[in-house]
Structure 1
C-alpha cells in the first residue's frame, strides 16, 4: 500500500527533496524508490520499525553512503554535484553519540565551528545562544563524560545548529533517555521549527514522539508506505489511533 498526503498553505522554500532513491547492500535492496520533501519550518517524523531503512536513508542524505539511484537535494543543491553547499545547509544528530567525551562542551562546539569556517568569536557567540535555549549555558566548561544522556543530546543539537542550517536531521535522538528527557527534547525541537523556521526530519520507531500537528512519513521494509498529517493517516488506513494506523501500514514488523 502506498498512500500519500501533505500539508496545505502558502508555498515555502524546500529544505530537503529526495526523489526515487533506491539503495542496496551486496545486492540486497534496503531502500526502494523513496521520495519525500520537507519545507522550511516543517517538522516531519520518519516513523518506521527497527530495520525499516531509516538510518540508511540518513546515511545517504549525509553522504556517509553514496547514492547511485535517485536524487537528493538540500536547500536546492544537488548532494552529489554541490556537496559542500548542501552540507552547509544541514545539521545532524546521529543515533550513536559523536561528541568527544574527553573535551569540554565548549571545546566540542568550538571544533565544530572551526570545521565550518567560523572565527572563535562567532562560534563562541553562537554556542552560548544555542546552549542558553537548551538551558545548558552553565555547562560550557564541563567535560562531556560528566553530562547525563539528556544533556549530551542537547549539546549535540546545539552543535548541529551552530552553523545555522536550514535542515536538521535527527536519527532516533531519544534512544536511552528517560521519559522526561525525551519529552523535553521533542518539545525543544518543535520550538525550533516554529521560532526559527528550521525544517526537521526526526526518525523514530516510537509512536508517542509524534505530535498531532506533525507530518508523518511511514517507512517499512525500505518503502514509503504513507505520508501526511496524523489525521490523513487515520483516514487513509481506517485506524482509530496512530498506533493502529501504524500497525496496518507495517504488517509483520516486530512488536
Structure 2
C-alpha cells in the first residue's frame, strides 16, 4: 500500500534541448512512494537527460520536478536531501579507500564524526563490503564498485533512490545481486526507486513502468498493463520503439 502524501517523484511537462536538438519533449511521469518504477528506453531515449534534471545537474527551464513535494527548482536543498543517486558513469574516487569515499559524501550532507562512520559501516555491511572498507576503490571489481555507489547513495537515508543504467557492463551474477538488493530496499525499507534500464529481464510483472522513446513518454502503467495486447513486455516494448531502430534488447 502506497504511503499517504505526495509522490516520491513528480515530473510534469518537462522539455529539454541541447541547442536545437530536443532531448525531452513534454515528459510527465510519477514515481509512487515505496514502489519500484522502471524507466525503460533504448540508448538515446532521454533517460540520462531526465536524471540530470532530477538531480539538478541541469536546470529545468520548461516544466517542473518535485521530490516528495519539494520543487527541485525552488527548494533544491530540501529536494536533494530526500534523494539518493547512482549515475551510469562511475563516480568513486579511485585513489581513496572505500570508507573515505563514503565519509566524504557524509560530510557533503553535514554528517560528521562518529555518526558518519557508523552510517558508512552500516551501509557497507548491507551490501556485504564492510570487509573492503580500507581498500582503495580501484581494487574493487565493477560490481563491487556499483554496490559501494549504492551504499554511498543511501548514506543520508533518502526516501527516493534513482539509478541510471546501474547494471550496464556487469556480469549476470553482479546484476542479479544489485537488483535483488535494490528490490529489498523497496520491500523492507519503503524506499522508492526509479530504475532506468534498457534490459527488460530486470523488470517484474508488478513493477510500475514508464517507456521513454525519443524524448517522449510513449507508455506508462504496471508492466502487465503496458504489455497488454502483446505476447509479453519485450514485444510491447519493441512495438513502442520500432520506428526504424532494430537495437531493442
Q: How would you bin the TM-score normalised by the shorter chain?
A: over 0.9
The answer to whether the 8 Å contact 1:79/1:86 transfers is yes
| Partner deviation per Cα, 1:142-200 (whole Å, 9 max, x = no partner) | 10000000000000000000001111010000111000100111111000011111110
Size of the alignment, in residue pairs? 246
The answer to whether the 8 Å contact 2:2/2:33 transfers is no
| 1:246 corresponds to which of 206, 229, 237 | 237
Query: Equivalent residue of 2:28, what SS?
Result: strand
TM-score (norm 2): 0.96
The answer to whether the 8 Å contact 1:170/1:202 transfers is yes
Q: Distance in 2 between matches of 1:151 and 1:138?
A: 12
The answer to whether the 8 Å contact 1:49/1:254 transfers is no
Is 1:102 matched up with 2:95?
yes
Structure 1 gaps, min length 5: 1-7
Q: Distance in 2 between matches of 1:10 and 1:66?
A: 29
Describe the shift of the 1:41–1:9 C-alpha distance in structure 2 as closer, same or farther (beyond 3 A): closer
Q: Distance in 1 between matches of 2:223 and 2:207?
A: 7
Query: Equivalent residue of 2:124, what SS?
Result: helix
Pairwise CA RMSD of aligned residues? 1.2
What does residue 82 of structure 1 align with?
75
Matches within 5 A, 1:56-205: 56-205=49-198
Describe the shift of the 1:92–1:240 C-alpha distance in structure 2 as closer, same or farther (beyond 3 A): same
Q: Alpha-carbon deviation of 1:11?
A: 4.4
Q: Distance in 2 between matches of 1:117 and 1:241?
A: 46
The answer to whether the 8 Å contact 2:3/2:33 transfers is no
The answer to whether the 8 Å contact 1:169/1:202 transfers is yes
Q: Alpha-carbon deviation of 1:114?
A: 0.3
Describe the shift of the 1:209–1:203 C-alpha distance in structure 2 as closer, same or farther (beyond 3 A): same
Query: Equivalent residue of 2:227, what SS?
Result: helix
Give every structure 1 segment of 4 or more consecutive aligned residues whose post-TM-superposition deviation is greater than 6 Å. Answer: none
Structure 2 gaps, min length 5: none
The answer to whether the 8 Å contact 2:39/2:197 transfers is yes
Q: Distance in 2 between matches of 1:9 and 1:88?
A: 21
Query: Equivalent residue of 1:14, what SS?
Result: coil
Structure of higher RCO (CA pairs closer than 8 Å, 6+ residues apart): 1
